[in-house]
A and B are shown apart, each in its own frame.
Chain A
């Protein structure tokens, strides 16, 4: 029955501490949010889980004050991105150009291909705004318009920056433009 309800409806129920509504909303967005948080946090799954858990805490606490200026999905992504950026700034090493492989417990790093590692290193070395743009624009089922909405940028700006970011990424991984 909850599958038919809109995100706004679920948020209203969450405001009245309806745990079933929270479960329904989480079933829609938890995995994408975890994936994005992990990508921002250099594949640290433990930190990603903390970030998304904080996101749900904030959702329950602030559901009643959600004005609806943006979609619930955009709101959730903004919460996770802001929180992940905070965590990254506070806990992670400033030198991200050559990231150490995280512990095996936190990722399946050992199984990843060399190319994937190379790509990840190149993305980590990008400036924060371009890295975020790339991650969002190629995130699951997220359109460029939605990415622009989440980042608060005009769609045209997003497209031009994405082009620049892709070129820089290709040059870093030695791929011809």
Chain B
């Protein structure tokens, strides 16, 4: 009996025993809740010691460098000559790392071709047919070379027609495009300017490299401290987000300056050219022309006067009507008085 009971109890126990090997359910729950799905790793003393070990390694490297450089520096001084990198420690600089090479290159004076310059040019033209000149602008640019009209306006009519456009052309094509623009009309003014932004470019490059280095360090730290408390991980991620934002901002600035440097700006203005004065002609031609113009002027004055009169009559109709009523009433009163005076008896003597 007791054996059977034990058998039953064993079977009952086996009913609720989980023997399957499968992925734990808590990870799926953590994923649904947005908790980072990272497996906890045991924290060892060397995990905590990584920053201290890095600092110790850096101090050691600095010590080795100083020890290697100082004797050579002393030799150079005692020889009474200036020292250069090669003279101080040739064997060290013969094996300089890529990053050091890049820094040295950025610190060296730049060749003219390496300078970053933003070029701008303003040109004003006079043309008898502004619309025709304006419509010729696109044909002067080469889309294949990336040239385009950034902005354009056309306004006015007749002698007050004006047009303006901002053209973007590759910096090396600035001269060619300006020469081609000469055909648009009579050149009335021209000015050019150039802004050297090399310092800004170098500064941006350096800041960007620095931020990228910090980003890499944070990523390494995040990887090394995967088992750290959630609060610390979130703090590192927040720093990472901030650094990445800064990188994006600097990259955008770099691209904008790069665009300004690679494409020169030409601002073109086209105005209507004033009509040329008439050439001198004979007496009769002049007299008939004068008479014709005088007749036209007088006709214009007469028409203007008539139009003014019409405007006074029509525009003041209400007032004229009121004035007419007042005049009529006054006239009636005056005539009534006259009639009464006619029938008045003669004075008695």
Contact = CB atoms under 8 A, between A and B. Distances in A.
Interface of A: 1-2, 16-20, 22-24, 26, 30-32, 34-36, 38-39, 45, 49, 52-54, 56-57, 60-61, 115-116, 119-120, 123, 134-135, 138-140, 166, 169-170, 175-176
Q: Which of under 10, 10 to 19, 20 to 34, or 35 or more describes the interface residues of B?
A: 20 to 34
A39 B11 CA distance: 12
Nearest to B227: A20
Interface in B113-170: none
Given A56-B29, A60-B30, A60-B35, A23 B15 contact: no
B17 interface: yes
Interface stretch (B18-26, B56-64, B321-329): B18-26
A20 B8 contact: no
Interface in B18-67: 18, 20, 22, 24-26, 28-30, 32-33, 35-40, 42-43
A52 B26 CA distance: 8
Nearest to A24: B40
B340 interface: no
Contacts of A20: 40, 227, 229-230
26 contacts: A17-B35, A19-B38, A20-B40, A20-B229, A26-B25, A30-B26, A31-B18, A34-B25, A39-B15, A45-B20, A49-B25, A52-B25, A53-B25, A56-B25, A56-B26, A56-B29, A57-B29, A57-B32, A57-B33, A60-B33, A61-B33, A116-B11, A119-B11, A139-B13, A139-B16, A170-B8
Nearest to B36: A19
A175 B8 CA distance: 9
B14 interface: yes
B4 A140 contact: no
B217 to A, nearest CB: 24
Contacts of A22: 26, 29-30, 35
Point out which of B4, B17, B22, B43 has the most chain A C-beta atoms below 10 A from its C-beta: B17
Given A116-B14, A140-B16, A19 B40 contact: yes
A169 B8 contact: yes
B12 interface: yes
Nearest to A38: B18
Contacts of A169: 8
B9 interface: yes
B25 A138 contact: no
Contacts of B9: 138
Given A1-B43, A120-B15, A175-B8, A23 B35 contact: no
A34 B22 CA distance: 11
Contact of A30 (B4, B11, B24, B229): B24
B16 A23 contact: no
Contacts of A57: 29, 32-33
Given A17-B35, A23-B40, 6 more contacts: A19-B30, A24-B40, A57-B33, A115-B11, A119-B8, A175-B8
B13 to A, nearest CB: 5
Contacts of A61: 33
Contact of B230 (A16, A38, A45): A16
A24 B231 CA distance: 18
Nearest to B13: A138
A123 B38 CA distance: 40
Nearest to B40: A20
Contacts of B35: 17, 19, 22, 60
A24 to B, nearest CB: 8
Given A1-B43, A20-B40, A60-B30, A30 B25 contact: yes
B15 A119 contact: yes
Contacts of B18: 31-32, 34-35, 38
A19 B230 contact: yes
Nearest to A61: B33
A123 B15 contact: yes
Contact of A135 (B11, B15, B42, B230): B15
Interface string B200-234: 00000000000000000000000000010111000
A18 B230 contact: yes
A110 B146 CA distance: 73
The 9 A-B residue pairs with the shortest CB-CB distance, nearest first, are A35-B18, A56-B29, A138-B12, A26-B26, A20-B40, A39-B16, A53-B25, A34-B18, A35-B16
Given A18-B229, A22-B30, A115-B11, A140 B17 contact: yes
